Structure 1
Amino acid sequence: MICSLSNLKEQDIAKIKQLESDLGQTLLAFSCHAIQPAKLNEAKLGKVQSLEKSLGISLVAVQA
């Protein structure tokens, strides 16, 4: 399973902002998905890690 920040509709964002206001607390919305990670050989893994480093992000290889 992998989770990422949710892509929300404006009405959902408004509801979250209202709850944040009520709580006095910042909230993050995540959506989770069942995925199967791909198995990469060392050469492919090295390419992924190189791009991660240059972009400052994390990448996950999954089976399509």
Structure 2
Amino acid sequence: MLYSLAHLEPEKLATIQRLENEIGSPLLAMEGVEADTATLPAENVKKLKDAEEELGVILVAVKPN
């Protein structure tokens, strides 16, 4: 299972924002995403790592549905 930022209804977002104010720290709401990671050849893994470094993000290769 992978995780991404949660899609929140306005009421849930408001609850989280109140909690942020109470504890004095920003919060990230995450939700699970069903996905199986792909097995890649070494040259493709290098391409992903190079792109991650260039873009400043984490990339995860997943198996197509």
What range is the shorter-chain TM-score in?
Answer: 0.7 to 0.9
Q: Report the counterpart of residue 16 of structure 1 in structure 2.
A: 16
Q: CA RMSD in A?
A: 1.7
User: Which residue identity is paired with 1:48?
Assistant: L
Taking the aligned partners of 2:25 and 2:6, their CA distance within structure 1 comes to 18
Q: Report the counterpart of residue 28 of structure 1 in structure 2.
A: 28
Q: Report the counterpart of residue 49 of structure 2 in structure 1.
A: 49
Which ranges of structure 2 fall in alignment gaps of 5 or more residues?
A: none
Please report the TM-score for the alignment, with normalisation by the length of structure 1.
Answer: 0.78
Which ranges of structure 1 fall in alignment gaps of 5 or more residues?
A: none
Question: How many percent identity over aligned positions?
Answer: 34
- Whether 2:7 is the aligned partner of 1:7: answer yes
Taking the aligned partners of 2:27 and 2:57, their CA distance within structure 1 comes to 22
Deviations 1:31-60 (A, max 9, x none): 012211001001111111110010111100
Query: Between Structure 1 and Structure 2, how many residues are aligned?
Result: 64
Q: Report the counterpart of residue 60 of structure 1 in structure 2.
A: 60
